[in-house]
Amino acid sequence: MTTKQKPVHTVRMGKVKASIWANQSDKGITRHNVTVCRIYKVGDDWKESSSFGRDEIPLLAKVLDQAHTWMFENSKAKSE
């Protein structure tokens, strides 16, 4: 049975969420990528969308900024 990969960190503001994923390179270096989504509920089920409305764009910018900061601070390949 395959286990589903989980993000290493999540930033959420309201309905906007950024998930940070760790990926290993061929040389064993961890690289981080980010995905963003808007979450919403239909009945009892939570859904995700990659579409953002006008009022969600400022939140999108903020979660991306925080995700960038986390990725930079948690990178082993930091430049001095």
Listed in sequence order, the residues at least 6 apart from 63 whose beta carbon sits closer than 8 Å to its beta carbon are 11, 12, 13, 16, 17, 18, 36
CA pseudo-torsion sign 14, 57, 71, 30: positive
CB atoms < 10 A from the CB of 63, how many?
21
For the chain, what is the largest distance between any 2 Cα atoms, rounded to a whole number of angstroms? 50
What's the pLDDT score for residue 24?
Answer: 87
Task: Give CA–CA dist 26/39, Å, rounded.
Answer: 34
Interval 20-69: pLDDT, tens: 999 988 888 889 999 999 999 999 999 999 999 999 999 999 999 999 99
- Which pTM was predicted? 0.84
